[in-house]
Structure 1
């Protein structure tokens, strides 16, 4: 799985960080999501899929 994050679409809701904290973080200054791991291990795939599903801005794209 490859994870892409469109920071221009991000609305800083933080749902991705709650769902997959090993893959996403937020910038301190504005809360915009930051991608920590573009190729997470298979063991975290379910969390990453959940993060993409709950993103209100649809800023997370998964290539499987």
Structure 2
């Protein structure tokens, strides 16, 4: 049973990762919050790319789970 709880926790973490990454990216690009420490172009590309990959993975997980 503990291994089942670990799997469920990992799934929840994966589903919540993309929305949390969106929030992190929005805050890290906000000059009112970050001042001069906002993301540069490379970090924005990497951060938004990671966000898209996580969102696609989460959507794929839901589709595979519902279809299967």
- Normalised by the length of structure 2, the TM-score is 0.28
Q: Higher relative contact order at CA 8 Å, sep ≥6: structure 1 or structure 2?
A: 1
Compare the two structures and name the one with the higher strand fraction. 1
Larger Rg: 2
